[in-house]
Amino acid sequence: MKKIEPEGEFPATAYLLIGDEENPATWKLRFRDMNGTSKLQLDRLLALLGLSLIPGQFWLRETEFRIAIKKLRSKYTKLGLESPV
């Protein structure tokens, strides 16, 4: 199963948060683009997560936010980069 986005089709493994593997509508925060994972993509996610902290703009539950940050750190490490968070 894949989620269709303007940039292409992506499997659940391309997202930090997967609510239901059988329901692409529950997949959030794609970290991989068509060329794989890049620092640019991770930096964009980090900025998006930062914006989610603005009062009235929080679109993730606290547990989702913590899981996303933990997974994001891991993705930076896998690229051989120091995580900024």
In a domain, 71, yes or no: yes
Tell me whether residue 70 is in a domain. yes
> Does residue 85 belong to any structural domain of this protein?
no
- Distance, in Å, from the CA atom of 75 to the CA atom of 39, rounded to the nearest integer, reads 9
Q: Which pLDDT value is given to residue 18?
A: 95
User: Quick one: pLDDT at residue 54?
Assistant: 64
Instruction: Calculate mean pLDDT across residues 10-39.
Output: 94
User: How many folded domains does the chain comprise?
Assistant: 1
Domain membership flag for residue 84? no
Domain that holds residue 29: 2-78
Q: What is the pTM of this model?
A: 0.84
Residue 65 has pLDDT above 90, yes or no: no
